[in-house]
A and B are shown apart, each in its own frame.
Chain A
């Protein structure tokens, strides 16, 4: 069953055609990675899915419902959630308060307390709970934001470069975290440059180039594709 379906999605910024007739279908339960060189239109595609940008034409279907004109918060209510590229935590508030804000619309009282505790241990941030989120390390901020996004128990989790700025060890741990979430039934769409991470988690990979779907398949098929190597991997290894 397809969970997310993008149909002929277009987005222009002035004369710049950032998203060019993109068709993309995500099956429920898969981990799908979106790769492509800088400027390929990956982040714009995320913003279209989230309702931060509105497409010039085309449709976005989520679980069979057309959500193209829905406001962002309403899409979140439908079961979407996101972790941004730049860590989007509430910097001036404590780690605990960050999680409380994420969880409070679903839980109250003692249940809220225990959910916060559970999430803190899932993220390995128990000893940092009283700290101001702005003082966390970059990797910890990324995890905190993933935790906030996950706390909504979304059907589809969007991750924009979840391992950016992380050490190889942190990257691997993040991959395991994503796999655990997926095992619990969460569908994941991730933008990622780190090929080790993509190899670790991706069931399917889509390559975007100049706003268009350039190639699609398993990571081995993508790596073996010479055209992809020419536009992306070739540059990456140069």
Chain B
């Protein structure tokens, strides 16, 4: 019991909204609904929900680097693309037997993280900060998009995997779990849904623990005043680099899951529009809080898809307007604003009844 209490204590703190039995009770209800949801839905709709979940990881990566760390990375899609292509190249070459797709998932995320180590080292130890960090990361993702877009010719291949230029890479196998008898293939429906949901819950809770730890304290301290943080004895650049790499790994995870979901990846996943959208989800939700980011991303994505499906040709324009409105009305995020308001309401209610 004390162990359980201690665990919950590590999940709560000044860096995350939501605490106490009421919050975790609500969390359990939402999780139970999410677990039961495939029982009451069809495979196609469940697969569509997986598509939404996949993007939450890249949103959380931006929440970590930008919202908590204060460094605006405009190029999280670079890691998304690298990991997506990485998974494709590995699995097209080595197949899906013996659980190799799971190895490829981990390896692809590791490749994205390794790239972030290199890029992040030169940026942070080269003292690139503020708007310049955004410019460099955006340049990197656009450069990768341009490069991959011109790989249409047959000479562009790694092993048997053709890069295929602007049309992108496809026919990579879905995630396959080795199982006695017959391996379990996770197509984009119920099976993949539970895997991605499990990963999402794990990443969300792990990030809550991380941000409420002493490491998280240093990260927000650097956002608030990097000079003061350094003068308290923290190696600011090292902390920034570690945060950047964790964020890149999360963006990479998004990329791999996207690739296994649709069994394709194209250069446009690293383009300007793709790079800008996560910024809007995170800004609208509330970049400095994990829960707000998750809710904001899912709501905005659902609204965006509804707009594109039901006839509106102006979904992207709507996204732009939404971003401008957020900046003007609730610069810390609409969802975070609502959550803080609810928190104050609950506190007043407890005060009155107590």
**A and B from one complex:** yes
- Interface residues in chain A, defined as those with a beta carbon under 8 Å from any beta carbon in chain B: 50, 52, 71-73, 76-77, 81-82, 84, 88-94, 97, 100-102, 104-105, 145, 148-149, 152
Residues of chain A within 8 A (CB-CB) of B14 are: 93-94, 97
Q: Which residue of A lies closest to B234 (CB)?
A: A73
Partner of B220, one of A52, A88, A90: A90
Give the one of A71, A97, A152 with max B CB within 10 A: A97
Chain A residues closer than 8 Å to B234, beta-carbon distance = 73, 105
The residues of B that contact A102 with a CB separation of less than 8 Å are: 232
Chain A: interface secondary structure? mixed
The contact of A82 among B214, B224, B231, by CB within 8 Å, is: B231
A101 to B231, CA, bound (A): 12
Closest 3 CB pairs of A and B: A90-B224, A76-B233, A88-B228
B221 on the A face (CB < 8 A): yes
List 8 contacting pairs A-B, 8 Å CB cutoff, sorted by A.
Answer: A72-B231, A84-B227, A84-B231, A88-B231, A90-B220, A93-B224, A104-B214, A152-B233
Determine the distance from Cα of A105 to Cα of B235 in the docked complex, in whole angstroms: 12
Separation in Å of the A94 CB from the closest CB of chain B? 7
Tell me the smallest distance from the CB of A176 to a CB of chain B, in Å.
Answer: 24
Partner of A101, one of B218, B227, B235, B236: B218
Return chain A residues, CB-CB under 8 Å to B230: 72-73, 76
B217 interfacial contact with A, CB 8 Å? yes
| Given A93-B14, A94-B14, A104-B214, A81-B221 contact (CB < 8 Å) | no
Residues of B within 8 A of A92 (CB): 220, 223-224
**Inter-subunit contact A104/B217 (CB<8 Å):** yes
Q: Could you give, for residues 183-223 of chain B, a 1 whenever the CB lies within 8 Å of some chain A CB and a 0 otherwise?
A: 00000000000000000000000000000001001101101
CB distance from A1 to the nearest CB of B (A): 24
Cβ of A145: which chain B residues have Cβ within 8 Å of it? 228
Alpha-carbon distance between A21 and B185 when the two chains are bound, in angstroms: 73
- Which range holds the interface residue count of chain B? 10 to 19
Contact A97 B217 (CB under 8 A): yes
Interface residues of B in 1-18 (CB under 8 A from A): 14
Q: Which of B217, B218, B234 is packed against the most chain A CB atoms within 10 Å?
A: B217
Q: Is B350 an interface residue (CB 8 A)?
A: no
Q: How far is the CA of A189 from the CA of B69 in the complex (A)?
A: 33
C-beta contact mask, B226-255 vs A, less than 8 Å → 1, else 0? 011111111110000000000000000000
- The docked-state distance in angstroms from the alpha carbon of A225 to that of B122 is 52
Are A88 and B227 neighbours in the complex by a CB distance under 8 Å?
Answer: yes
A82 to B231, CA, bound (A): 7
Chain B interfacial positions (CB closer than 8 Å to A) = 14, 214, 217-218, 220-221, 223-225, 227-236
Contacts of A52 in B (CB 8 A): 227
CB-nearest residue of chain A to B14: A97
Find out whether the CB atom of B235 lies under 8 angstroms from the CB atom of A71: yes
Nearest residue, chain B, Cβ from A83: B231
Residues of B within 8 A of A152 (CB): 232-233
Residue numbers in B under 8 Å from A104 (CB-CB) = 214, 217
Question: Is the pair B231, A93 in contact by a Cβ cutoff of 8 Å?
Answer: no
Other-chain contact of B221, A71, A76, A90 (Cβ < 8 Å):
A90
> When chains A and B are docked, how far (Å) is the Cα of A104 from the Cα of B215?
10
Q: Which residues of B contact A81 (CB under 8 A)?
A: 231
Across the interface, do B225 and A100 meet the contact criterion of CB distance under 8 Å?
Answer: no
Q: Which residues of A contact B229 (CB under 8 A)?
A: 101
Count chain A CB atoms within 10 A of each CB in B223, B232, B234 and give the residue with the most. Answer: B232
B221:A93 contact, CB within 8 angstroms: yes
Taking a contact as CB atoms closer than 8 A, the residue among B225, B227, B235 that contacts A91 in the complex is: B225
The reply to whether B233 and A90 contact each other, CB–CB distance below 8 Å, is: no
The residues of A that contact B231 with a CB separation of less than 8 Å are 50, 72-73, 76, 81-82, 84, 88, 149
Q: Are A89 and B228 in contact (CB under 8 A)?
A: yes
Q: How far is the CB of A45 from chain B (nearest CB, A)?
A: 16
Nearest-neighbor residue (CB-CB) of B215 within chain A: A104
B217: chain A residues at CB < 8 Å are: 97, 100-101, 104
Which residues on the A side are within 8 Å of B232 (C-beta)? 76, 101-102, 105, 148, 152
Residues of chain A within 8 A of B235, CB atoms compared: 71, 73
The distance in angstroms between the C-alpha atoms of A137 and B229, with both chains bound, is 21
Tell me, rounded to whole Å, the shortest Cβ–Cβ distance linking B86 to chain A. 35
CB-CB under 8 A from B214, the residues of chain A are 104-105
CA distance A89 to B231 in the complex (A): 11
Contact A91 B224 (CB under 8 A): yes
Excluding A89-B228, A104-B214, 15 further A-B contacts by CB distance (< 8 Å) are A71-B235, A72-B230, A73-B230, A76-B230, A76-B231, A88-B228, A90-B224, A91-B225, A92-B220, A92-B224, A94-B14, A100-B217, A101-B218, A105-B234, A148-B228
Q: Closest residue to B70 on the A side, CB-wise?
A: A92
Interface centre among B217, B228, B229 (most CB of A within 10 A): B228
* Closest chain B residue to A145, Cβ basis: B228
Our pick among A71, A90, A97, A100 for the contact of B228 (Cβ within 8 Å) is A90
Q: Is the CB of A101 within 8 A of B233?
A: no
Minimum C-beta distance from B84 to chain A (A): 35
